[in-house]
Structure 1
Amino acid sequence: MAVRNQPETRWAWVEVDRGALRKNVRAFRRLLRGRERLCCVVKADAYGHGASECCQIMQQAGADMFAVATVAEGVQLRETGIKLPVLVLSEPPIEAIPTLLAYNVMPSVYTVEFALAYGECAVQAGTVGRYHLAIETGMNRIGVPCTEALEFRRSIDFHRGLECDGVFTHFATADDPDGWDYQLQRKRFDEAVAALRDAGLEVGTVHCDNTPATIFDPASHYDMVRVGIGLYGLMPCESARGRIELAPVMSVRARVTRTAHPAMGEGVGYGFTYRVPRTTVQICTLPIGYADGLARTLSNRMEVLYRGQRVRQVGNICMDQCMVAIQQTTVRPMPEAEVGDVMTIVGRDGDDEITMDEMAALRGTINYEVACGFGMRLDKVYV
């Protein structure tokens, strides 16, 4: 297959489709009404797609805010020129407060100790520390318990160095919007926000929707939605298919670095978990392994695409390399590969496609983890 670009130092890479990313951002914008805003979640290096580059594209396509998981991720966005608001989706260590203020990155807040330290540092810096109040409504991960939100705000609102820029919660079962658990979380959040407002306290931007809630429940969009996995063309759950049209953004490809024709009975890879059968087999090496996100549990269970056809991966996947077998049969003749030929680990080649969801199912995990894993070490090429 034709390749438009590739890294110069290694024959394995991630391709990120700029056009698909723009399309997905705009698809979510079309779900919004009136003044509802879009927060693009770009944590974990934009789910492995490259946060710096993706944020530029998202900003042009209509993003209003970005959300990250760590202070370092927020700093990276600022250092690459991102001016939109940036929210850290957890409460960082107190030691991170000077960095937050220096780079104008907002933390989530849910402990009095952090909030007051944040306010004090902001006053000393001659500014105001803006934050988003995280409210715990049932996921039991982070946040002020919903029944204590008003008391919490009253215990910190005296501080002139603090400003509540928003309040939020996170749903645990948004893929089941009619379910009791989802409805209970939303009810608890509504009641907590109403209590703050009734007490005359500023709540700023109210937001609770992740990708599935954004798709399934327009009534819970409030002031802003937080979209993550959907931006990258991956469905958060099977029931979302058909509700919104998204395009996969990431493909993973590699070039053949070696070919060989081992004799019948010869083993391939650590432990010889595959041995060459009686039929003619060409063994091809690809420079991608489990350190690049190609999980070792996929050994002898996955396929890759070569010239639009599926070929089997064989032997144990190594840290930096894996092997595939091109096996000639009378039913399916296939040209043998040469060094430099491209194979597709994830993505489309011809009429066939290997998806993140297919690979996730083989691994017993979710597409989120698959995408993040490929993004950790492989070079990214934007096409």
Structure 2
Amino acid sequence: MKISRTSNVNAHRDSWVEVNIDNVSNNIKELKKCIPQDKKFLAVVKADSYGHGAAMLAPTMLASGVDMFGVASIDEALNLRENGVTAEILILGAAPVWALPTVVENNLTITIFSEDHLDSCIQTYERTKIPVKAHIKLDTGMNRIGVSHKNAVEFIKKVQSMECIDLKGIFSHLANAEIKEKTEQQLAVWEDVISKVNTEGLLLHILNTAGIITSNVYKCTYNMVRGGIGLYGLYPDLIPEAQHVNLKQAMSVKTRIIHIHEIEKGDGVSYGHTFVADKPTTIATVPLGYADGIPRLMSNKFYGHINCQKVKQVGNVAMDQMMFDITGVDAKVGDVITLLDETLPIDDWAKAMGTIHYEIICHLKARLARVYTR
């Protein structure tokens, strides 16, 4: 059942992304089964909920047991606020010093990950006289951003003594959650730091989707987890325990046939004629291309479904259009071709491209309307 679109801005095209909100709700509940009931749950909705639409999904997530949200930037946080989300929002990435007053004004929580960043918070407090809400990010082995574990204890105690910071939590991130030995090394660093500071009243979180699924394997101090890719029904790579968690892919990509014509043996299709018919062939054109986020690298490598039949994409994917071989299929202009759904997994595209499913879904552009279904 279709329930809504994000807006009417891109509602006049015959290509769209469908997001099943019941599947998102199911996925949250499945992940929460992996952890004790007293643990809080942060939903990572950065990159517009990995392309699924953060503002539209937020109410469903909250109703399904999410306690707060995590985003990458101030703008992503403001988008949630502007759409009525009042829950706590943690900005997981860097918040520029010049924008920190906006953080305070909108009751957002930042990540502090260095002395320089801490100095920025001090400057903001001097202007606003309002403490900056923050979590401290520890670098336990990711080597991206974060306070080095070597001086983390001293740094945390310093922040806790400062009136300009309202410290709400401490966190880190697993770099190799699918590799037991490396994860244990990171968790050992985490435990060493956490054991040496006063954590009363603080949120402690290091487990991502992979960490949630494997949480029964490791001994770890935490009272909150961060669900990311799993919210949308996609599994982290190479996690054996994942088979016990019933996640459902939330995203589908669909388009309608706009033209059907016949070509002869030897005729080529699309730019460069990378597909040449070896027999008389029926070609269907759809209004979907790489400007919508369909990778040109997938040209001639994937299939769609039309009227319960499998059809191959042929020829190079163009900016706004692509073609399918529908020879022998009972189809007409206006019929829907599904490119991705639970029976056409996003993982298949990722494997064909030598990438990860995160990249595929995050590349689907905003000019594809998001349609929400149950």
- Pairwise same-fold verdict (TM > 0.5): yes
Q: Which residue of 1 aligns with 2:292?
A: 292
Given the alignment of the two structures, is residue 139 of structure 1 paired with residue 124 of structure 2, yes or no? no
In structure 2, what is the equivalent of residue 44 of structure 1? 47
Q: Equivalents in 2 of 1:345, 1:71: separation in Å?
A: 33
Asked if structure 2 preserves the Cα contact closer than 8 Å seen for 1:164 and 1:203, the reply is no
C-alpha contact (below 8 Å) 1:41/1:68 kept by paired residues: yes
Show the counterpart of 1:315. 315
User: Displacement of 1:214 after TM fit?
Assistant: 0.4
- Note if contact 1:196-1:203 (Cα within 8 Å) is conserved in structure 2: no
User: When the two structures are aligned, how many residues end up with a matched partner?
Assistant: 366
Contact 1:164 1:202 (C-alpha < 8 Å) held by counterparts: no
Partner AA of 2:186 in structure 1: Q
Check 1:263–1:3 CA distance in 2 against 1; reply closer, same or farther (3 A cut).
farther
Q: Alignment partner of 1:220: what SS?
A: coil
* 1:29-61 residue CA offsets vs partner (Å, 9 max, x unmatched): 222314210000000100110000111110111
What letter matches 1:68 in structure 2? V
Match of 1:216 in 2: 214
In structure 2, what residue type is equivalent to 1:324? F
CA distance in 2, matches of 1:272, 1:136: 50
Q: What root-mean-square deviation, in Å, do the aligned CA atoms of Structure 1 and Structure 2 show?
A: 1.9
**Cα-to-partner distance string for 1:160-182 (whole Å, 9 max, x where unaligned):** 11121100110011123xx2211
* Structure 2 gap ranges (5+): none
Partner residue of 1:234? Answer: 234
Mapped partners of 2:203, 2:161: distance in 1: 20
> Which residue among 324, 349, 355 is the counterpart of 1:359?
349
1:108 and 1:355 map into 2 onto residues whose CA distance is 34
Letter in 1 for 2:269: V
Could you list the runs of 5+ residues in structure 1 that have no partner in the other structure?
329-333
Query: Per the alignment, in what secondary structure is the counterpart of residue 197 of structure 2?
Result: helix
Asked if structure 1 preserves the Cα contact closer than 8 Å seen for 2:157 and 2:197, the reply is no
- 1:32 and 1:4 map into 2 onto residues whose CA distance is 32
Q: Per-residue CA shift, 1:325-371, capped at 9, x if unaligned? A: 1123xxxxx32x211110000015xxxx2111111111111111111
2:132 corresponds in structure 1 to: 129
CA contact (8 A) 2:35 2:215 kept: no
Give 1:372 deviation, angstroms. 1.2
Q: Distance in 2 between matches of 1:5 and 1:261?
A: 37
Of stretches 371-380 and 78-87 in structure 1, the one that deviates more from structure 2 is 371-380
2:64 maps to 1:61: yes
Code of the aligned partner of 2:333: V
Who is 1:173 aligned against? 176
Between the aligned partners of 2:118 and 2:360, the Cα distance in structure 1 is 36
Deviates more, 1:113-122 or 1:63-72: 113-122
Contact 1:120 1:161 (8 Å CA) reproduced: no
Which stretch shifts more, 180-189 or 22-31?
Answer: 22-31
Q: Do 2:113 and 2:146's aligned partners in 1 also have CA atoms closer than 8 Å?
A: yes
Distance 1:151 1:327 in 2: 69
Question: Aligned in 2, Cα 1:193/1:167: closer, same or farther, shift over 3 Å?
Answer: same
**1:158, CA displacement in angstroms?**
4.2
